[in-house]
Amino acid sequence: MAETAKEIDRDKLLDIYTRTMKVNRTDEKFRELLMQGKVAVMYYCVRGQELVSAAAMAALEDDDYVVCTYRGQGEQTAKGIPIKKWWGECLGKATGTCKGKGGTMHITDPDTGIMVTTGVVGSGIPIANGLAMASQNNGDGRVTLVSFGDGAANIGGFHEAMNMAQLYKLPVVFLCQNNRYGEHTAFADHTDSPNIGERAAGYGMKGITVDGNDVNQIYPAMEEAVAHARRGKGPVLVEAMCYRMMGHFFGSDFSYMPEEHLAEMKAEDPLPKLRKVMLERQFTEEELDKIVADIDAEIDEAVQHALDAPLPDTDEIYKDVLEETA
């Protein structure tokens, strides 16, 4: 894996911390609502992967494009989807980003650059190439980032998209969040290569594998990857090693994970590590706690707003299917 890079600017570090905690507190609230029976929807927890998403989104510009998976809460909230619209969509309400018709697995919000959330493993990878090609053709300077898991790196679309992106030098960053499990299958049981980042060399592409639990590795790697793509130098594959600290989906257990993996996962928790870095950089406990308290208050307000919001009208089933002309 990459060595620790240069020190991150203090303001940027605070930005990453804020985004990370927003992702974490959103995840905690969602699981709380599910356990209380207040909502009944499909949800894929992001606990353990918060820092990867936050650092990646902090490296992008506001108008850059993002394609994410059903485990995309991290990218969606860290990129800045308005929180009331996000919760409205997750709860299937008319106030949501897609008027409640997409739900947790199909959240889309072009205004903040979240172009597609896919429910099919790896299906967003070639879509990202299409967005990047449009940006290249339009000369708009945007970079597209597509996030996916280690399991998705073995589908045909991954290889086709990597080859095409490098061939045309598309401004796209492929972010593989390698949480070491493809659903319930350990990485070593579905892939014999030591990592995914090295595959980039087979396409002549720049690739790197970094510790996604270390802010001083993941953010500089993302910053450089995005800059590389934006300069017209072509795509980059970034593999962020991380842990999925919950089951594959809410309600599933860890029975298939060995004890040593669980112990390693607990020891590598990115949140205490990030807080330690913040304190070393002279942020106070009070400052950090206030950020979390403010985020919690914002989330509570947004959740109540979503719970009180109306469901979509039945007529909505006929809308947003075909282009409507005057």
Residuewise pLDDT in 10s, the chain (326 residues): 665 467 899 999 999 999 999 999 999 999 999 999 999 999 999 999 999 999 999 999 999 999 999 999 999 999 999 999 999 999 999 999 999 999 999 999 999 999 999 999 999 999 999 999 999 999 999 999 999 999 999 999 999 999 999 999 999 999 999 999 988 899 888 998 889 999 999 999 999 999 999 999 999 999 999 999 999 999 999 999 999 998 888 888 888 888 898 899 899 999 999 999 999 999 999 999 999 999 999 999 999 999 999 999 999 999 998 887 86
Q: Is the pTM for the entire model greater than 0.75?
A: yes
Q: Alpha-carbon distance 47 to 32, whole Å?
A: 13
Single-letter code of the amino acid located at 122: G
The fold of the 10-72+104-303 domain, in CATH, is Rossmann fold (3.40.50)
Question: E-strand spans in the chain?
Answer: 65-69, 114-118, 144-149, 172-178, 181-182, 185-186, 206-211, 236-241
| CA neighbor of 90 nearest in space, from 78, 100, 79 | 100
Q: Alpha-carbon distance 146 to 65, whole Å?
A: 8
